[in-house]
Structure 1
Amino acid sequence: MIVESSSDSARKIFFRVLGPLRVCLGKREAVLPESRQLTVLAVLVTEVNKAVPLGRLVDAVWGDTPPVTADKQIQTCVWRVRKALVQAGSRADLIETVRGGYRLRLPDGCVDTQLFEQLRERGRARARAGDPVGAVGDYRAALALFRGEPLAGLASRALEPVAAYWAERRLTLLEECFDVELALGHHRELVGELSLLVDEHPLREQFRWHLMAALYLSDRRADALAVYHAGRAALISHVGLDPCARLQDLHQRIIAGDPVLQPETVAYPGLVLRGVS
């Protein structure tokens, strides 16, 4: 999804960091320089509209062992990034030189992380207003902005916390989305996606809860119980803990054949997770 700004100075430009770093200008994609320049640009994009000190850029590129010429090399990196963006159709002053550093100045909606947050908040508002279908549409549109691991391919320890932050935002939004989709009765459609997520994140108990519920609601009680026991074994093996109380409660409900109710649905007026009695 690429949003065109009404501002002529930054029209059509869109930065993607929810995956490998990409810059699109209309239908064109900028040919970006080698990894050092990519790292500098990544820091500027993730701090969009903020002044980034030169020292932070040096740290992102070289960590604890910068060369004596680091400041001048960062200046060269910025020059090359500017040149690449201009060749792709950007204005020359997109990256501003400010006191002690640089700033990437963009209107709102020109970075995929901004769109992610906008769609996430709109989805939450729709869920609260009793529009679960609209909420799921916004949640799924936000999740579709991810094209792999955030900032994939950039080997910079300074960027690792940023990448981890956005990866966690994705997983958290998936959990919210599954709450609403299960409440809508989409359990059969979710089994495959949830199975993959549980395999990828075996200690994430919320995904396991969703998978167990989806299987149970799909008349697959034995499979739901098997998912519980596999999760319990993984938790005990890795952290020495039993499943959380919520998972244990669901496990008992499935054994007893009781309806499955999802406490979170109280936040979504009019939604009741269909149970099995």
Structure 2
Amino acid sequence: MRIALLGPLRVQAAGVPLEVRGLRARRAIALLALNAGRPVALTQLVDTLWPDDPPATFREQVYNCVAGLRRTLGTRPRPEVDVVRTGGGYALTIDADRVDALAFEAALRVAAARASAGDRAGATTVLRSGLRLWRGEALEGVVDGPLGFAATRLDRLRGEAWEKLFELEMGVRRDPGLIAEMSAVAERYPLREGLTCQLGTVLWQAGRAAQALEVCREHRRRVLAEFGVDAGPAVRDLETRIRAAGPPAGVDRLIADVEVLLAEVRGLLTKAARCPACRTG
């Protein structure tokens, strides 16, 4: 049996999809799968099934939910995977490598160990294998309450995995596909300083300084809009180094000049909008 949480919830037995009916049942199996083999306290289950206000009959409803899950997972005397009672809670008897979210985290640990040992190629292979497990948003369709925190954590780990992967590949890859891939990931994680610096650096090294500067400026705009502060020192330092290297040549120089002009125009328009005497109507 396999349980997939890195996207819409999917439960398969021998390659055959099993339908987990009802939002509470899907939340329950997601929580139990995230804790594969480990006990989940009744209070944690209740908070997950009813993030706002549990009913007075929550014990009976949890019992019924678990009974329904056991029927879904299999009715044989010894089912491959079962929900068992453990003290004051429940546990799902499934190996961690059968749950994609846990397999992804294991891949990150293996990749880190290989990178520390100097095996960059091995670390890259493991990271890409782990990232391929993602089919959409983490815990898609069941995100709420405690599962929302789990989804946020998994997404953060996904961003960190991409960042580490690009760090390993930047020194050896020179194909255009790297920039395209990094651009897509940086767009998904616009507030990650490391990804912004990586994309800006490869663009700069590819002779696309104007685009590299725009990547830095866009990151700073988004950080300012989100947090009310300037971006971190790494992005500011990269922007300074690109400018200090001198103006780009050819088409890139023209793009840079146009971008500077547009920035000046935007600044004038912003000042005009803030000036009461400049407003009409």
- Above 0.5 in TM-score? yes
Instruction: Call closer, same or farther: CA 1:56–1:196 in 2, change over 3 Å.
Output: same
Q: What percent identity do the matched residue pairs reach?
A: 31
1:187 & 1:237 partners in 2: Cα distance?
A: 34
Distance apart, 1:154 and its partner CA: 0.9
Q: 1:92 to 1:240 in 2, by over 3 A?
A: closer
CA spacing shift, 1:92–1:54, aligned 2, 3 Å: farther
| Cα distance in 2, alignment partners of residues 169 and 105 from structure 1 | 25
What is the correspondence of 1:61-76 to structure 2 with a 5 Å cutoff? 61-76=49-64
Quote the residue 1:171 is aligned against: 159
The alignment partner of 1:146 has SS state of: coil
Give the aligned residue type for 2:104: F
The aligned residue for residue 103 of structure 1 is 91
Structure whose residues are more often helix by fraction = 2
Counterpart of 2:210 (choices 211, 222, 225) is 222
SS in 1 for 2:162: helix
Instruction: For 1:195 and 1:78, locate their aligned partners in 2 and report how far apart those are by CA, in whole Å.
Output: 44
Residue of structure 1 equivalent to 2:38: 50
- 8 Å CA contact retained: 2:33, 2:94: no
**Distance of aligned partners of 1:220 and 1:15 in 2 relative to their CA distance in 1, 3 Å threshold:** same
Highest CA radius of gyration, 1 or 2?
2
Question: Unaligned 5+ residue runs, structure 1?
Answer: 1-12, 259-277
Counterpart-to-counterpart distance in 1, 2:88 and 2:156 = 32
Q: Distance in 1 between matches of 2:137 and 2:101?
A: 13
The 3 A distance-change label for structure 1 pair 222 and 137 is same
Name the aligned partner's letter for residue 122 of structure 1.
V
SS in 1 for 2:199: helix
Residue segments in structure 2 that go unaligned for 5+ positions in a row: 247-281
Length-normalised TM-score, structure 2: 0.80
What is the deviation of 1:186? 3.8
Give the aligned partner of residue 200 of structure 1.
188
1:138 aligns with 2:126: yes
1:88 shift after superposition: 10
Q: Which has the higher contact order (CA 8 A, sep 6+)?
A: 1
CA distance in 2, matches of 1:192, 1:37: 40
Correspondence 1:156 to 2:144? yes
State the superposition RMSD in angstroms.
Answer: 2.3
Per the TM alignment, residue 181 of structure 1 is displaced from its structure 2 partner at its CA by 1.1
Would you say the 8 A contact 1:188–1:218 is kept in 2? Answer: no
Aligned CA distance change for structure 1 residues 52 and 179 (closer, same or farther; 3 Å):
same
**Contact 1:109–1:115 (CA under 8 A) maintained in structure 2:** yes
- What does residue 256 of structure 1 align with? 244
Between 235-244 and 31-40, the greater mean CA deviation after superposition: 235-244
Instruction: Count residues in correspondence.
Output: 246
* 1:21–1:151 CA contact under 8 A, matched in 2: yes
1:99-124 per-residue CA deviation (whole Å, 9 max, x = no partner) reads 22211122341211232122222222
Instruction: Name the amino acid aligned to 1:197.
Output: V
Structure 1 counterpart SS, 2:7: coil
Q: SS at the partner of 2:170?
A: helix
